[in-house]
Amino acid sequence: MKPFRFIPFSFLLSSYLLFLVTCLNVPSLRSGQTSALVGTKLYFFGGYLVTTYDTPIAITDVWYLDLSNSSLFSTAIPTWYKDVEMPVGNVYASCVSSINNSDIFIFGGRQFLPNSSTVFFNSSVYRFDPNNNSIWSITNITRFNSTFITRNKMQAVIDNTRRVFIFGGMNFIVNSDNSSKLYYNDMNILDINNMSWSTLVIPQAPPCYNYAAILLPTGLIVYIGGTDYLSGVSPVNMSEIRTFNTTSFIWSNISVNGSSIGSHIGHSAVLGQNGDIIIYGGSKYSLDLDTQALPNLAVLNTNSWTWSIPDISPKNTPQPLHFHSAVLYKNYMIVAFGRIASTGDLFNKDVYVLDIQKFVWITVNNTATTTKGSSTSQKTQTNKAQGISNSSSNNGLYIGIGVVSGIVLIGIASFVIFLLFKRRHKSYN
């Protein structure tokens, strides 16, 4: 009997077990999460997963990718890091990183108690400090607008004076009677310098939600797409762009020429270095929100105010997503998670990267991911002192147990293979 006959089997079994260990504790499928780029760390907060539209499973996880590690931009396997969990599950929340690349604020959205599908409304604004032991705390804000207890499906942008601008949105009512929902058209400002809240008393745009918002260096906020609510619900015309001047507090409408762009909701947008706004994904307005918006990728030139559709290779193209998230890092647009349009309740767990200079989707190894515990994920005593509990301190323990278990399994498998070989070898003698 030749012993080499068992080597391929041994190698495959060991590789499979090692694969299971390596892939332990990585981000799950999700949609409606928010993300923020802090330095070179790309954070993802919360989100949800559903089996039906009526049973959302809220997610309290906080994960990040360290973009200083170039593995995301190559064929290497990206490494995920888990950080301190959110105090509550949050869906469609507003999340913004302050100008000093430090604090992140999460407010509004649909809040859920951990490990529960029960919607939990409170007026707290949560603050996350990734540079100080990943502390979660509750902020004290004066003149807080109480409608943000249940408001969601809006976006926030921050200017260089540390003011956060939040427009519109809708409230979340548990029942299915759309007539009882409230739609907003007010502009709210959170001044991070003194933690004060104000609602502008000015002529407003129509109530709008599910839009994308981008702040230009000129101080204009560009609002793209979404859904209006006047006498009824209707999609925003993509050939009419609304802008808000953060200095004069004046709304304007800009007619956009160029390529024809269909209505979009639940899409993402990033601002390129040349002033172009790149939008990705989204769906058309429909009752089931599952009809893919076309085109899937478009570029708005904010100098000439024209739309164009890049000629892009289908290689590595993402699935059509909506209610995902996207950020710009250097010359790369990074798209992650979300629901897969036109498929019903299928969710995405992959990450995609677009080179916005060449307009090429680069290869990302989504077949397997590795995970590491954050150096801050173990530091939970400070959070407990703040009155906020979390369970992510067990992350390192779970990974350790998984690694040890995997090693034990590999050892047992190798021993069994050895016994089989020995027994077979004796039978041949």
Q: 155: domain CATH number?
A: 2.120.10.80
List for the chain the helix, strand, coil content (%; round to 5).
15, 35, 50
Quick check: helix, strand or coil at residue 98?
coil
Q: For the chain, how many structural domains are there in total?
A: 1
Q: Which amino acid is at 337?
A: F
Condensed to tens digits (0 to 9), the pLDDT of residues 57-102 reads 788 899 999 998 767 777 777 889 999 999 888 888 888 876 666 7
User: 10 Å Cβ neighbour count for 304?
Assistant: 10
Averaged confidence pLDDT in the chain: 79
Q: CA–CA separation, 106 vs 252, rounded Å?
A: 28
For residue 33, pLDDT over 70 is answered with yes
Q: Residues 193, 195, 196, CA angle at the centre, nearest 5°?
A: 110
Whether 90 maps to a domain, the answer reads yes
pLDDT, tens digit (0-9, with 9 covering 90-100), for 353-411: 999 999 999 988 887 655 565 544 433 333 433 334 333 333 333 334 343 444 444 45
Which pLDDT belongs to residue 184? 93
Query: Residue 13 burial (CB < 10 Å; 0-12/13-18/19+)?
Result: middle
Q: Give per-residue pLDDT as tens, 158-215.
A: 998 999 999 999 987 655 555 568 899 999 999 999 999 999 989 989 999 999 999 9
Give the pLDDT confidence score for residue 293 in this predicted structure. Answer: 93
Which DSSP symbol is given to 382?
H
DSSP 8-state assignment for residue 4: G
Residue 303 has pLDDT above 70, yes or no: yes
Residue 429 domain flag? no
pLDDT of residue 230: 83
Does residue 222 carry a pLDDT above 90? yes
pLDDT band at 418 (very low <50, low <70, confident <90, very high): very low
Can you tell me the distance from the alpha carbon of 179 to that of 260, in angstroms, rounded to the nearest whole number?
32
Whether 352 maps to a domain, the answer reads yes
Residue 192 within any structural domain of the chain: yes
CA distance 42 to 228: 31
Task: Determine, yes or no, domain membership for 306.
Answer: yes
Judge whether 428 lies within some domain: no
Q: Is residue 35 part of a domain?
A: yes
427 occurs within a structural domain: no
H or E stretch including 254? strand 251-255
pTM of the predicted protein model: 0.81
Domain that residue 233 falls in? 3-421
Dihedral sign for Cα 415, 418, 420, 422, please. negative
Amino acid (1-letter code) at residue 99: I
